[in-house]
């Protein structure tokens, strides 16, 4: 013990003498020693890490049905950002299944994504930044009817003028649908559990007496939720309701031509802008049924890029 202390003291003294006699002032020394460490060490450590980091690669964006506005927006994004990726056509259900598989295997995946959608509650996901604003900003979802519905079925039209809901409300229905695909039964159960709200939507004199109402939808989760809830209210009131899943273009054109009564899934002002331009004069925009919708490109949070502008760095 004592010996060690003595040695340490001796060493300190010797060092101090050495510094003084070699002219290395204490001010110079730390600079000489630390500079190379500061400059080189982080560079040495980080460079290979950057190169090794990608544990996957991207070759395509998993899309949905070709008529969806988000598919056209994604084509635009591929062009605007010069992305070296393809866009895969699929459907909401198949895209979400792909997303699930990728997440189970911790693989990278980019999907066409939007809110409201139950996938955000089920997985840790992030929207990629879109500095060129190709996907636009906040959207609203509108109910669109054929011309003449108001005259033919005033109480149905009034129900549509009243129908609107929040993120929590549509979210609850989408969650039920994600667990169990009996959409009609889920809508009926949700109505039972939200009777007060639903009663506020139902106008006096909503009585179907077997009259036919034709509703169109595309099988997007949000549309399945809203369409089935409105359809269940109408069925309960005695209407003979038909819900027909179609392509987005057919949904818009059929309502414009008066072949169907209404739909609850027009995404405006951006996603369905081209449909609105084409058919807007021949349909009736009844009301906004949901506010705060959004579209974009979505990835699991573990994917190492945050911006659409960086995708090409990770393309295989």
Which of 232, 107, 221 minimizes the C-alpha distance to 175? 221
**Least distance to ligand PBE, CB of residue 73, Å:** 7
**Least distance to ligand PBE, CB of residue 218, Å:** 7
Of the pair 206, 286, the CB lying nearest ligand PBE is at 286
Of the pair 225, 248, the CB lying nearest ligand PBE is at 248
Is residue 272 a contact partner of residue 255, using CB atoms and an 8 Å limit? no
Of the pair 119, 153, the CB lying nearest ligand PBE is at 119
**Least distance to ligand PBE, CB of residue 55, Å:** 29
**Least distance to ligand PBE, CB of residue 308, Å:** 17
List the structure tokens of 150.
């108001």
Burial class (CB within 10 angstroms; exposed 0-12, middle 13-18, buried 19+) of 186: buried
Of the pair 216, 237, the CB lying nearest ligand PBE is at 216
List the structure tokens of 294.
């959004």
User: By the criterion CB under 6 A, which residues form the site for ligand PBE?
Assistant: 64, 68-70, 114, 220, 222, 248, 265, 267, 271, 295
Question: Can you count the helices (H) and strands (E) in the chain?
Answer: 13, 9
Going by their DSSP bridges, the two strands 110-115 and 139-146 should be labelled as unpaired
**Least distance to ligand PBE, CB of residue 183, Å:** 16
**Least distance to ligand PBE, CB of residue 122, Å:** 17
CA 143 to CA 138: how far, in whole Å?
17
Whole-number CA gyration radius for the chain? 30
Is residue 130 a contact partner of residue 309, using CB atoms and an 8 Å limit? no
Of the pair 69, 208, the CB lying nearest ligand PBE is at 69
Of the pair 81, 220, the CB lying nearest ligand PBE is at 220
Whole-angstrom CA distances from 271 to 87, 97, 142, 239, 276 are: 17, 23, 12, 31, 10
């Amino acid at each position: 013990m004592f010996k060690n202390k003595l040695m340490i003291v001796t060493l300190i003294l010797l060092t101090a003498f050495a510094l003084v006699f070699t002219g290395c002032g204490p001010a110079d020394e730390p600079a000489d020693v630390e500079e190379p460490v500061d400059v080189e060490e982080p560079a040495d450590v980080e460079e290979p890490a950057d190169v090794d980091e990608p544990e996957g690669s991207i070759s395509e964006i998993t899309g949905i049905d070709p008529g969806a506005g988000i598919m056209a927006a994604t084509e635009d994004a591929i062009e605007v950002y010069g992305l070296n990726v393809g866009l895969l056509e699929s459907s909401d259900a198949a895209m979400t299944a792909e997303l699930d598989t990728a997440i189970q295997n911790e693989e990278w995946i980019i999907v066409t994504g939007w809110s409201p959608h139950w996938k955000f509650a089920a997985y840790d996901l992030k929207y990629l930044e879109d500095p060129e604003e190709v996907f636009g900003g906040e959207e609203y979802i509108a109910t669109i009817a054929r011309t003449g519905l108001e005259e033919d079925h005033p109480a149905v039209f009034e129900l549509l003028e009243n129908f609107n809901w929040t993120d929590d409300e549509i979210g609850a229905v989408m969650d039920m649908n994600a667990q169990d695909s009996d959409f009609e039964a889920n809508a009926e159960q949700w109505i039972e559990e939200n009777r007060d709200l639903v009663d506020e939507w139902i106008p006096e004199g909503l009585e179907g007496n077997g009259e036919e109402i034709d509703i169109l939808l595309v099988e997007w989760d949000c549309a399945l939720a809203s369409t089935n809830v409105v359809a269940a209210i109408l069925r309960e009131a005695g209407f003979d309701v038909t819900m027909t899943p179609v392509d987005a273009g057919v949904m818009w054109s059929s309502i414009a031509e008066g072949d169907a009564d209404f739909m609850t899934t027009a995404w405006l002002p951006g996603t369905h802008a081209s449909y609105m331009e084409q058919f807007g004069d021949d349909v009736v925009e009844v009301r906004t049924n949901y506010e705060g919708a959004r579209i974009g490109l979505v990835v699991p949070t573990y994917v190492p890029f945050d911006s659409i502008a960086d995708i090409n760095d990770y393309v295989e």
